[in-house]
Every structure is written in structure tokens, then in C-alpha cells.
Amino acid sequence: MRVVHVASEVFPFSRSGGLGDVLGALPAQQARLGAAVTVVSPWYADIAQPVREVWRGALDAPGSVPLVDVRVGELVQGGVQFLFVGLGAFDRPGLYFPDDVWRFTQFARAVLPALERVGVAPDVLHAHDWQAGLVVALGRLAGLRAVFSVHNLQYQGRWNLIDGAGWTGLPDWAFTHEGLEFHGDVNLMKAGLVFASQVTTVSPTYAQEITTPEYGEGLEGLLVRLTHEGRLSGILNGLDQDRWDPRTDADVTPFADVAGKAACGAALRAEFGLDAAPILGVVSRLAEQKGMDLLIGALPELTRDWNVVVLGGGDPRLEAGLREWDAHPRVAFSQGMNEPLAHRIYAGADAFAMPSRFEPCGLSQMIAMRYGTLPVVRETGGLVDTVPHEVGFRFAGATPQALTRACAEARLTFDDREEWTARAEEAMSLDFSWDGPTREYLGLYARVLSSPLRPLPGPVDA
């Protein structure tokens, strides 16, 4: 089975969050289980690894923007073929910009002809998030079967229909309410949802949540229909357990059991000059989705019982709020993303806070538990699916007060060393490997390949 993944980022070449982590782990595990796997992503200017150019030229693709001087690079790693599509729109530092709809329509139009030029013929396309949604639509027009994964429904790739429709190269009928049109805009997330043979989300609970007005981001009607058609399901993300292994982690003092965490806790305490109170860690994008405003609102209460160590960047207002707290003797804020420090926080903290308003899956809670650090999480999305009541501390309300109460419960439990140790040992024993999810995806691909192609959502003679 030749599987081609298409995504805007893939670790270790490009990454801004969980999407890149998934594309760094899932394809490799699929290759280990016997699939022939190719991953296609943009050839960003910031990619530092040596990529070999294997093709260069103009691509014949429909649309109002010519695809000239396209480069295709290749790198093989871990049994996976990585292809990088280079376009002028990506010759700038960084990953994402305000003109991304324009940039990623160009990328999407280049993917299929680029694969043809280098001799890769997919059995199944697996496209990820809105940046690859147009690839699903173009692939369906070419008779390809596709799986489309929603990693975060909030980001949809919308642009005004007058400009955006011409960029895509799709026929006019594709912009009816059954296709890409969404309140007068092109919606590239909707392209993936409508044209895919199967749609997945990154946790079972999130697959249910997005069929409701609270989480559906205006697409809940379509998602309810996909559910009724048997085309929407949730497959929980796994965790790269080689990258996140406390027994071999070079960024911390390695440990194999709860007792071994003590050295990491002492080191983190010394690094930030913290007192003897337990440490509540946070490694997060700073956004309201992640509930970071709730965390800031709870700090007056939290700092009575906890040291709080936060690593992250994002919303300037939230960064400013945490900088103000950084002078507090029990708060340490490090702005930006720093992977070695992230490892030290996961290993050295006692508890880990994730007060997300919504969380499609989340990897941080899995990492924390693998390191014996107990999560305090809001009951939503993948946090429900991964944090057992007997291990972590869950709360329902998206308020500072609800977070404070859950942390107070955790603090009381922390004083019962026998119970806390039992919870931490249970956390470290949980299996979040990619093996089970990978087999689910391979089974899904097999069902897609054995099923007839669904009719196009346009006229019968299209």
C-alpha cells in the first residue's frame, strides 16, 4: 500500500505544534508495519537538513497562478520518503503568514503533478488540516481516494470567493454549498471534509464535540451529516515514545521510576530559584484556546500552594501578562519554545496544567504522564480520552475558579505521598505508543480502498 501524507509541517524539518509531531511519528510507524510511505510538505527556507533536489521545472496545473520554477527535494529517513515542494511563496523565513491561503493553494496545486514527476503513485492520500484540504478535492477529481484528518477545526483557510476560487483551479460547480463555499468565502477545510472518502479527527471525543454548535466552528451541520454517512471518526494520536522517554532522555537526569524524578525536580527548582512548594508545569502555545488566560487569572490562588513554571509563546497579551508575574518568587516564565527546557519541565514538575477550552487531542498531557507528572486538565477532547480519573485531576468549567479548585484537589493529594506515588506510577505505565493508532489508520485505508468512490458533490456529468 502506497500512502502519501500531505501536511504543512513535519518534525524534525518544520514544526509549530502537534501537527508536526504527528507527521514525524505516524508515517515512520506505518513504514515499520509494511506500508510504503511518502510525506509531502513545503520546502521552507528554514529547513536546515540537507535535502537533495530531484526535480525542477514548471508544473501544468489548473488555476490563475502559474506554477513556475518549482523544486522538488527528497530525503529518506526512518524508512519514509520525504518530498519537499519548493515554491517562491515559501522562500521566506518562518512557516505561517497572513497570505497563507494564497500560499497553500499554490502548494496544494503542485502536490499531485510533483508526485507524478518523481514517479510516486499513491493508493491513498492522507491530507492533514486546511492547508492540505485542496489536495483532497484535486485528488478526488483525479480519481484518488483520500483520508482527511482534522487536527484543529478552528483554523479553516478562508478567503474571499472572488480571488480564492481562481487560485484553486477547481471548476465552478465545486463552489456550491456542497463544496468549498462558506458564507461567501472559499473554505479549504471544507474542501477536505466534503471530498474525502473518510474524515478523521485526532481523538474520539473531539470527533463527537465538533458535531455540536459549541465546537463545530460553523461546520457542525456538515459534520453531523458525515457522521450519519459513516464518514467521520476519531483516532487518538500516539506519542513518539523514543523522543519522549525518561529512561534515555539526554536533556534530563534519566529515570525509570517515580523515585528517580527527585533529581529532575531538584534541578528545575535550582534553575529557577524556586522554594520547596511543589511545581506546577505548563508547556503550551499561549492562546485562549489553551486556557492560558484562565491560568493567569488563577495565579493569585495557585501561587499560595504551588510554584508555577511556564514555557510558551503566542498571544502578545498573554505573554505580557505572564511577564508581569515573572517577578513573583513562585512564578517562572520563559517566552518562546525551547525543547530542552520543555523536557526539563515535564521531568521536573510534580503536576502539569492544561486548562484548554478545547483540545483536539493534546500531546503534552501524554508526555507529562510518561514522566510521572500528573495532569490537571479540563474535560474536553483528547484530554478526556487520555487522562484517567485515577491518574489526573479533571474539571469541567472553563474558568479560573474551576482550575483553582482542581489544583487545590491535586495539592491535597500531593500531601498523601502514598496516593500521589501510586497515581504517578500508574501514569508512567500507560501506553500511548503509535502502534495501536497506526493499525487503526491502516485498517481505515484498507476500507477506503475496498469501497467505491463516492459521487462528486457536483453535477452528475461533472
Sheet containing strand 158-160, edge to edge, reads: 158-160, 185-187, 181-182
Query: Binding residue per annotation — 52?
Result: no
Terminal Cα distance for the chain, rounded: 29
Give me the residue label for grid cell 483553582: 404
The number of residues in the chain equals: 462
Pairwise CA distance, residues 411 & 338, whole Å: 28
33: which residues sit within 8 A by CB, 6+ positions away?
438, 439, 442
199 and 193 Cβ atoms separated by less than 8 Å? yes
Rounded CA gap, 346 and 143, in Å? 46
- Could you tell me which of 151, 338, 347 has the C-alpha nearest to residue 266? 347
Q: What stretches of 210-315 show up as alpha helix (H) in DSSP?
A: 220-228, 261-272, 292-305
The one-letter amino acid at 81:
Q
Q: How far apart are CA 215 and CA 70, in angstroms?
A: 38
CA distance 406 to 233: 30
Calpha distance 322→332 (Å, rounded): 9
Query: Considering only CA atoms, which of 355, 357, 359 is closest in space to residue 392?
Result: 355
Three-class secondary structure assignment of 160-213: EHHHHHHHHCCCHHHHCCCCCEECCEEEHHHHHHHHCCEEEECCHHHHHHCCCC
Cell numbers for 134: 485542496
CA angle 432, 148, 22 (to 5 degrees): 30
| Phi, psi (rounded to 5 degrees) for 205 | -65, -40
Helix (H) or strand (E) holding 319: helix 316-325
CA distance 386 to 206: 12
Binding-site residue numbers for ADP-alpha-D-glucose are: 15
